[in-house]
Amino acid sequence: MVLGMHDALVEITGIVAGVAFAIDSRRIIVMTAVIAAVAASLSMAAANYMAQRTDNNPDAGLCATYTGLMYIGTSMAIIAPFCVIENRFAALGAMAAIAVLIILLFNLYTRRGSNRPTWRRFLEMLGVCAGVSTASFLIGQAAKYFLGTNI
């Protein structure tokens, strides 16, 4: 479950950030994000299934299902602001707030029964997510400039 959630946070926020700054159309942003989310969730589920089967885990199918469902669920939460907020930059801000909330809730939940430093892990996950989103934004801007694409 952690694998699916965390990968969706990093990957889909990165994709959406990059596309949102490169493309003006919310419909194209949502379409691209949904296609990426579904394809990646299936890929993550399949990869986890094969990894679990390699480790002879009899619950490989269940593990794969949880990974895929967490990936797609997290992705849809991240994409949702673009479906309801007209301004893509406001939607991007809402997406960032949702990602931060997911990271915070996850870290608060996983600290139960553990002595792990919650805030340090929260900042680490947040940093990774922000770093990938920033890199994707820069890639989106470079692609828009060098390819001369304005959609």
Show pLDDT as tens, one digit a residue, over the chain (151 residues): 677 888 888 889 888 888 887 788 999 999 999 999 999 999 999 999 999 999 999 999 999 999 999 999 999 999 999 999 999 999 999 999 999 999 888 888 777 766 777 888 889 888 988 888 788 778 877 887 888 776 6
Q: Please give the pLDDT value at position 113.
A: 67
C-alpha 5/C-alpha 2 separation (Å) is 5
Q: Please give the pLDDT value at position 151.
A: 64
Say how many domains are in the chain: 1
Q: Please give the pLDDT value at position 150.
A: 66
DSSP category for residue 59: T
What is the SS3 assignment for 25?
Answer: coil
Q: Please give the pLDDT value at position 5.
A: 85
C-alpha 31/C-alpha 7 separation (Å) is 19
C-alpha 64/C-alpha 57 separation (Å) is 11
Q: Please give the pLDDT value at position 2.
A: 76
| Prediction pTM value | 0.83
Q: Please give the pLDDT value at position 18.
A: 82
Residues 6+ apart with CB under 8 A from 144: 21, 22, 150
**Residues spanned by the domain of 61:** 2-147
